[in-house]
Structure formats: structure tokens, C-alpha cells
Amino acid sequence: MKKQIMGLLFAMVFLCAGTAIASDWNFYGSARVGMFWEDSDLKDETNLTEELQSNSRIGAKVKVSDELTGHFEYGASDGDANVRKLYGTWDFGTGKLTVGKDYTPMYLPVSNQAWNDDNGLGGYGEVDPGRHAQVRLQFGGFQIAAISADSEYYDGTDIVDDDIQVVIPRIEVSYGIDITNNATFDIAGGYATFEYNDNEDIDSYVIVARGTWAAAGFNLGIEAFYGQNAGNLIECNTTGNDDGRGYAKVNTVTGKVEDVDNYGGEIVAGYTFNDMFAIEAGFGYMQGEYDDDDEDEVYAYYLQVPITLASGVTITPEVGVVDYEESDQDEIAYFGAKFQINF
């Protein structure tokens, strides 16, 4: 029996080795440390944070054949390894099928903001749907995906997911075109729904458009979105206190559901002087408004000067502000730098 088990184990090892040899594995990594001083109005203090960024990563792109590829990537969230990406793609000729965890079709990045683990104005004007388990089809510039759903709502105190039922997955679509050799345009949308307490439907949607242009060292990106209960689809918190503003508000006593309207946008411009120096400035804005409440908003802006010391070695000094506007909400001014080595 032991010989049979050992034989089976050896067979599995050789099978895996044969598969690895037959595939083309291209490994890569990126070590990133953020060192930023943050001045908080509410805390009335300035603190230094220096840490391994959560988007530091190691991974590999795998090519099994011209039709079959894969990609995995581990990050360093809270200093622990976590799966950032893990998916396979089958090119069946007229299109591509992707299965696994990856960015979703609404991911249309514009900003390179370095603060807060390369935040990129996510939640401050840029649409950030994150990486999720999905089944995605792509036909040229068109993508459609069925994605794991977020079924949370705001109960007046916390963001919870009690007494809910999910029947269909979150759906996202996108379409992108090259207008000219220097300009692109993308449009995307997402929809999710779930049922609260067996009788109330909570619907969420987001529509986003992005335009980019680059020529002679200059680059410009603009993005705008509108949505309802957008927190179920994207990063969306205009208070800084995680107290809703992106989620439907549910009165758990009466069962009344109150939707929140969300919209925002960003503009980012930059210039590359040479192989060593560049500059980028960005501004983002986001707003949330419940049916019977005043609006709440946040805006952010930053200026950075990426410095490339060698191929794969960059330092990005940056200064910026995140302002939650209301007198009882925070305003954070920060300055510092991101240190990054790709290998």
C-alpha cells in the first residue's frame, strides 16, 4: 500500500513538473514602501507612516499555448500574503473567456496618486470597483462579466448585510475605442440587486466614462460617473467615517429603504520631461445625497514628481489634500514619497 501511495505521489510530481516545463512562466515582483506624513484636522496632529504597501506584489504570467494563458499575483495586505489576482483566459478565436479573480470591466484608471497604497484617487472621484471573482467575456473592445455581489446596506449605525437574499450576480460591461493614435474613450456600467427582508429590492448601478490623450510628453485623463447606492459597486465614502453615503439606508424598524445618489469625477494631467523626471497633478470630487438629506461631498488633489533612478527603480515625492468638507469631518494634508523597485 505504501509503495502504491509513493508511486502515486511521484507520478503527480512528474505530471506537475511536465506541465510547468510545457508552460512559459514569466515571474515578476514589485516592492513598494510608502513614507508619508499626514496632518489630520480632527486629530490635530501630524503622524509619520512608513510601511510595506499592500499593493507590493509577486506573481507570474503563464502561457500554456496561444489559446490558453493564466496570471496569478500575491500582494501584502496588512503585511500578510493575499491573492490579488488568480485567473485563466481562453482565447477561442472570436473572443476570450476569463475565469477567476481580476479587475472588473468598470476598472478605468486615470490617476497615479501614490499616497494610501497607490490610491489613484479611488473613492475621491475615480471609479474603483476593485478585484473580484468573475466570469468575463471579451469581444474586441467590449467586455461583460458576472461578478460576486456585494449585498451590504447602511442601518443608520453600521454597514451590514443582515436579512438579505441575493438571486443574481453583479453585472458589469464596458466598451473602449481608440479615437486617434493619441486619444481613447471608454464607457462602462455596472448593476447589482438584492432583496432585504423578503420584500424590499435594493438596486445599485454606476455609469462611468473616461477619455485620455497623450502626445509630445503631455498626458491628460478625464473621468466622470453617476450612480445609485454606488457603494455596492465601487469605493464610495464621502464622509471619511464609513457611515454610509455609498449604500442604501434601511430603517430596520419600519423597513423603509432610502437610496443614495452618487456622482463624481476627476481630471489628471502630466508631463514627462525625460527618462528620469516627470510631473503629475490630479483633482477628484465625489458626492453622495440621500432622498431626504443634505448632500455630502469630498474632494482631493495632489502633485507628484516621479523620479526614475534606473530601470525599475523609482521614487515618487508627492503632496496632497483630502477634504471631507463638513466642519465635523476630517481634512488630511499629506506629504512624503513612495519608494518602488520592480524586479
Measured distance CA(265)–CA(282) in Å, rounded: 11
Cβ burial of 72 (10 Å; 0-12, 13-18, 19+) is middle
| Cβ atoms 224, 264 nearer than 8 A | yes
Q: Residue 3 above 50 pLDDT? A: no
| Cβ atoms 227, 262 nearer than 8 A | yes
| pLDDT for res 67 | 97
Measured distance CA(115)–CA(146) in Å, rounded: 31
DSSP assignment string, 110-125: -----HHHH-TTBTTT
Domains along the sequence of the chain with CATH: 2-342 (2.40.160.10)
User: How much is the pTM?
Assistant: 0.88
Strands (DSSP E) found in 149-277: 153-154, 159-160, 164-165, 170-178, 183-196, 200-215, 218-228, 249-250, 257-258, 260-272
pLDDT (tens digit per residue) in 219-256: 999 999 999 999 999 998 888 876 667 999 998 888 88
pLDDT (tens digit per residue) in 91-137: 999 999 999 999 999 999 999 999 999 999 999 999 999 999 999 99
Measured distance CA(90)–CA(98) in Å, rounded: 6
Least confident of 2-11, 111-120, 308-317: 2-11
Cα-to-chain-centroid distance, residue 309: 28
292 C-beta neighbours (distance < 10 Å), count: 7
